[in-house]
Amino acid sequence: MEQTIQVFAAVSFFVIGLSHIVQRSVWIEFFARLHGLGRLGPFAEGFLYLNFGALIVSFHNVWTGPEVLLTLIGWAQIFKALLRFAAPAVVLRTYARMGPARAWQIQVAGGLFVVLSALLVSLAIRAPQGAS
């Protein structure tokens, strides 16, 4: 099951990362629209983080080796969801800072997501511990 979640996360991070790189202006617009929703914007985004994180931690509870990275990412996603549900005003301030002048940051994040995707693919295809 751990390998399946690693592939799921790898595909998700690859698609989102590539989108961040080639469609940075759309991501700026996305965050502007979320900001425009007021406190509902962080809630909408929070459901995305919660579902992604809960799926990871439910099926990838690995606390050893490099695989722990994905487990920690899952818990980080849950924390991001909690922040959006419990303190939407904090998140709204972050949305307000996202503008065309910071579009490069979205591309950098996209590049990191693509690298993370490659790392997760390598973890998924490597032989299980103890196998010959």
Q: Which residue has the higher pLDDT, 2 or 81?
A: 81
What is d(CA 132, CA 112) in angstroms, rounded to the nearest whole number? 32
The dihedral region occupied by 130, where left means phi > 0, alpha psi between -120 and 50, and beta the remainder, is: left
What is the amino acid identity at position 54?
A
pLDDT for the residue 114: 97
pLDDT for the residue 108: 95
Please check whether residue 17 is in contact with residue 113, taking contact to mean a CB–CB distance below 8 angstroms: yes
pLDDT higher than threshold 70 for residue 45: yes
Nearest to 111 by CA among 34, 27, 38, 17: 17
What is d(CA 82, CA 50) in angstroms, rounded to the nearest whole number? 8
pLDDT higher than threshold 90 for residue 72: yes
Tell me the pLDDT of the chain averaged across its residues.
Answer: 91
pLDDT higher than threshold 60 for residue 129: no
Please check whether residue 55 is in contact with residue 47, taking contact to mean a CB–CB distance below 8 angstroms: no
pLDDT for the residue 62: 87
Sequence-ordered list of residues with C-beta below 8 angstroms from that of 74, at least 6 positions apart, any chain: 52, 53, 54, 55, 56, 57, 60
